[in-house]
Amino acid sequence: MAKKKVFSTSIDSDRIKDLKHLAVDTDKSLGNLLEEAIQDIVEKYREILKK
């Protein structure tokens, strides 16, 4: 498993609320959901930039 690091940023309060609700609904942590979202966007842009 990769080493974890603390990462801090400002996020729109409505997005945080959405994420918290999603975490409860999916029984996942906020951190896990954020990692999943980051991985998805990295893969998306890798594909776009390859073209």
**What value does the mean pLDDT take over residues 24-41?**
97
Confidence tier at 38 by pLDDT (50, 70, 90): very high
Q: Enumerate the H helices of 2-29 as residue ranges.
A: 13-26
Please indicate, yes or no, if residue 40 is contained in any of the structural domains.
yes
Please indicate, yes or no, if residue 7 is contained in any of the structural domains.
no
Please indicate, yes or no, if residue 18 is contained in any of the structural domains.
yes
Residue 22 carries which DSSP code?
H
Residues 6+ apart with CB under 8 A from 33: 19, 22, 23, 26
Please indicate, yes or no, if residue 29 is contained in any of the structural domains.
yes
* SS3 state at 28: coil
How much is the pTM? 0.83
Number of folded domains that form the chain: 1
Contact yes or no for 31/23 (Cβ under 8 A): no
